[in-house]
Each structure stands twice: as C-alpha cells, then as structure tokens.
Amino acid sequence: MKTINTKQELVDFKGKPLKNGEENLTIGEVMAITLSGKTTNQVLAWYLGKKFATEKTVELKAEDIVFLKETLKESEYFMSIVTGQLIEILDSSEEPKKK
C-alpha cells in the first residue's frame, strides 16, 4: 500500500503552485475531477474519486496505481504539466520491484 497526500499542491516548471482560480491546484482535486469522467472501471473510479475528493491521504494498492496512471494518460481534461506531474508522483510512490 502506498500513501498519497491529496493536499499536495501541483507546481509549474519553476516550482510555483498551479492555480485553479484563486486556489492552488492539489492532487486530490485533479484526481477527483479526472476520475469523474469516463474510465475503464466506473465503480473503481467512483470509489477512488470520492477518496481523493474528501480525504487528506489515500492508500493505494499497486493495481490502483496502474488504473490511475492509465486513466490519466487517456484523459484529455488536464494539460501535460498536470498529467505528467501526477504520473511522476504515482511512479515515485511505487515500491521497488523485488529481484
């Protein structure tokens, strides 16, 4: 299980917070919005989207991370600076593979 901080702010290439109007854009907000769209598993999207929208941290299983990365890659809602950053965060949250 991996823990993701949903309140972590996303940043631009210079490290300044990305904005959603007046508010800084967070992982939780982006993931909840992305998961509210069409996905390959609507039930899992609902379950995870609700957690990203309402909880400070989300515990993810390996299969959740795979699903989230696939969903982000297929979504056209956010630009690459957001999508790429989230995939990088999800990649960094994965445990090293055992040999």
Q: How much of the chain, in percent, has pLDDT values that exceed 70?
A: 93
86: pLDDT strictly greater than 50: yes
pLDDT of residue 32: 96
84: pLDDT strictly greater than 70: yes
Quick one: three-class SS letters along the chain? CEEEECCCECECCCCCECEECCEECEHHHHHHHHHCCCCCCHHHHHHHHHHHHHCCEEEECHHHHHHHHHHHHHCCCCCHHHHHHHHHHHHHCCCCCCC
Q: How much of the chain, in percent, has pLDDT values that exceed 90?
A: 80
pLDDT of residue 96: 41
pTM: 0.85
